Amino acid sequence: MKAFIVTIIIIFSICFAQSTESDSLTAKHHTIGFDKIQHAAVSCLLTLSSQYVMVNKSGFDEEKALSYSVSSSALIGLAKELNDVQAKKQQFNWGDMIANGIGIAIAVLIITN
């Protein structure tokens, strides 16, 4: 089941990455663009990797590690958005936060199945 979910994620990401404009990295507030895929992918990988380290290398209980990995990934995404607001003088991008949440949700699905 995990291999199926990962395969679907990869296919979904490739389809959307290829259908975006080449300048979507610099365009502001794309609904679905390469930037959103990056947000989802990084949040997913942060959640998965922190879960792995906490359970397999640090001896945490799986449920406790899941809550910590989800929380830390969400906080990193929030900190990045707040930094963008301050450093780049942009408005807070809720689309990026939604993409972060989707990435975290995908990681939770992978971890719990």
What's the pTM value of the predicted model, to 2 decimals? 0.74
Contact yes or no for 97/78 (Cβ under 8 A): yes
10 belongs to a structural domain: no
Full domain range(s) for residue 41:
34-112
Contact yes or no for 102/12 (Cβ under 8 A): no
Contact yes or no for 92/102 (Cβ under 8 A): no
9 belongs to a structural domain: no
**Domains in the chain, number:** 1
86 belongs to a structural domain: yes
Q: pLDDT tens across 44-98, in order?
A: 999 999 999 999 999 999 999 999 999 999 999 999 999 989 998 888 989 999 9
58 belongs to a structural domain: yes
12 belongs to a structural domain: no
